[in-house]
Amino acid sequence: MTSPTWHEKAANLKFETRSFIGGEMVELTGGHFETINPADGSVLAAISQASQADVDRAVADGLKAFKSGSWSRMAPRDRMAVLYRFADLIEDSVELLALLDTLDMGKPINDMVTIDVPSAAHTIRFSAECIDKMTGTTTATPDNVLHYTTREPLGVVACIVPWNYPLLMAVWKIAPALAGGNSVVLKPAEQSPLSAVHLARLFVEAGGPPGVFNVINGMGEVAGKGLALHMDVAKVSFTGSTEVGKLMMIYSGQSNMKRVALECGGKTPQLLMGDLPDIATAAKTAAWGIYNNMGEVCNAGSRLLVDKKIHDEFLFSFMREAESWVPADPLLESTNMGPLVTFEHQKRVLNYIDIGKQDGAQLAFGGNVPQGLEKGAYVAPALFTGVGPKMRIAQEEIFGPVAAVIPVDGIENAIEVANDTIYGLAAGIWTSDLSTAHRLAREVEAGTIWVNCFDEGDMTQPFGGYKQSGSARDKCMDAVLAYTQSKSTWVKLG
């Protein structure tokens, strides 16, 4: 007997439309919104959405659980054990979690099974391993004084996450927040609400106390804003657009001066210098860097700054590599490009392609709705050549499969063009010269730099940006510490 296909598994799937508060599934009171399958436009489910009263309830339950000490004062090794079981349960639920995100936002099913779900479990395990490594200090003092510092959780943390990696971005937030001993209220993007409640249920199944991990679905204007303005929320951790990130800072000042951690937009350059070690490898990596996840990646390498010495050779190699990126049904395991997240976003990306043409860039290929896929929110991978560094497609975040080749003349020009943007999330550098590599890594204004590779790393690597790409760092030990606060205790002896 053959195993059921992903289509057959999807057909038998039942969607949870409620949210999760206080350890229970809850029907919210703000009405309903539809979540749409972007591959064919069909309605997946009508999801109950939060009113302000639901926001208040979720925060109150989180605060109650925090003050009870059921999680915040649990012995470190016991808290670690819960998170390890949580990670195991995520891996055991790979098919369900993979299907939910694929149907919800169009991500290829193979990416979910091989990348997103395993990475989510790995992130939780790493955060768990940090718990008993968060130590305080004692300092040198006079003989009649004992001074020591300790780290304590913040309280209720609101995690507001985007739709491009619904499961993984949620875990990037909740894992360090939970490891720090906090309670969490997770607000998924309204475009991809399906997988978050299952995360919360798995946490409780793993032994997490009720009320520690809550999920509320809803609109950003109500649920997201309500959390950011809430007087009992100690921190907002937000990944999304720069525009909304700025609002998070305003809401913090208008309420209780809560901490705000931001990971926002990007317009990542790949600096391809004339002496790069291998044009074929650079071109293959650059194609992956912009077309992976349909270009819906905050650090997508959308600006290809190509030295004039290798411009034509690189362009030929890149165009050949791009042929392997073909939009198709995301439930097929062979697919490497699915649809964009919504039809609204499809229109936005297609509009930017029109803007590129109007501004004088040359569309080398793609940028259309692929034939036979008109029912979905698909856009064929696109490449613009002859792009000026001041053009809108070189300055503004498109968040789609659109690459822009910008010719540069040497190191100085490459640095100037790379830094000529409001963003500073990441950058790729390609060169055979060690001095050039280190100089560019120092001069390029970005929080994450890759040399002769792109978008690689592990959990020890901080991820976050400079300038208007945000202020926070995800992954790494520092990310866990950022969900705690230090306390200084000065004891007079004798």
Is residue 263 annotated as a catalytic residue, yes or no? yes
Asked if the structure places residue 466 within a domain, the reply is no
Query: Of 16, 263, 296, 321, which residue is the catalytic one?
Result: 263
Range(s) of the domain holding residue 359: 269-459
Asked if the structure places residue 493 within a domain, the reply is no
Same domain, yes or no: 148 and 275: no
Same domain, yes or no: 42 and 166: yes
CATH number at residue 14: 3.40.605.10
Per-residue pLDDT, averaged over 363-370, amounts to 98
* pLDDT one-digit tens code per residue, 84-107: 999 999 999 999 999 999 999 999
* pLDDT one-digit tens code per residue, 317-357: 999 999 999 999 999 999 999 999 999 999 999 999 999 99
SS3 473: coil
Q: Give the DSSP H/E element, type plus range, for residue 66.
A: helix 52-68
Same domain, yes or no: 56 and 156: yes
Asked if the structure places residue 464 within a domain, the reply is no
* pLDDT one-digit tens code per residue, 379-423: 999 999 999 999 999 999 999 999 999 999 999 999 999 999 999
Please compute, for residue 475, the number of CA atoms within 13 A of its CA located in the half-sphere on the CB side.
16
SS3 10: helix
**Buried-exposed string 63-94: b where 16+ CB fall within 10 A, e elsewhere:** bebbeeebbbebeeeebbbbbbbbbebbeebb
* pLDDT one-digit tens code per residue, 214-257: 999 999 999 999 999 999 999 999 999 999 999 999 999 999 99
CA separation for the pair 423, 418 (Å, rounded): 10
Asked if the structure places residue 465 within a domain, the reply is no
Same domain, yes or no: 228 and 338: no
Adjacency order of strands within the sheet including 145-153: 137-138, 145-153, 484-492
Residue 70, pLDDT above cutoff 70? yes
Per-residue pLDDT, averaged over 472-477, amounts to 93
- How many domains does the structure of the chain reveal? 2
* pLDDT one-digit tens code per residue, 7-37: 999 999 999 999 999 999 999 999 999 999 9
Same domain, yes or no: 276 and 246: no
| Kind of pairing between the strands at 269-272 and 213-215 | unpaired
Residue 78, pLDDT above cutoff 60? yes
SS3 string of 231-283? CCCCEEEEECCHHHHHHHHHHHHHCCCCEEEEECCCCCEEEECCCCCCHHHHH
Same domain, yes or no: 54 and 166: yes
Same domain, yes or no: 39 and 153: yes
CATH number at residue 351: 3.40.309.10
Q: Please, what is the average pLDDT of the chain? A: 97
Q: What is the pLDDT of residue 457?
A: 94
Asked if the structure places residue 1 within a domain, the reply is no
Sign of CA dihedral 389, 392, 397, 398: negative
Per-residue pLDDT, averaged over 430-440, amounts to 98
Query: Of 298, 321, 397, 476, which residue is the catalytic one?
Result: 298
Same domain, yes or no: 87 and 224: yes
Residue 308, pLDDT above cutoff 70? yes
Greatest Cα-to-Cα distance within the chain, rounded to the nearest angstrom: 83
Tokens representing residue 127 in the block: 């955060």
Same domain, yes or no: 100 and 162: yes
* Count helices and strands in the chain by DSSP H and E runs: 17, 21
Asked if the structure places residue 476 within a domain, the reply is yes
Label residue 3 by pLDDT band (50, 70, 90): confident
Same domain, yes or no: 243 and 285: no
Label residue 1 by pLDDT band (50, 70, 90): low
Phi, psi (rounded to 5 degrees) for 391: -65, 155
**Buried-exposed string 440-472: b where 16+ CB fall within 10 A, e elsewhere:** beeebbbbbebbbebbeeebeebbbbbbbbbbb
Same domain, yes or no: 220 and 162: yes
Q: What is the pLDDT of residue 241?
A: 95
Phi, psi (rounded to 5 degrees) for 307: -60, 140
Contact 394, 388 (CB under 8 A): yes
Residue 150, pLDDT above cutoff 60? yes
Same domain, yes or no: 15 and 152: yes
CA separation for the pair 370, 351 (Å, rounded): 16
Is residue 298 annotated as a catalytic residue, yes or no? yes
Asked if the structure places residue 112 within a domain, the reply is yes
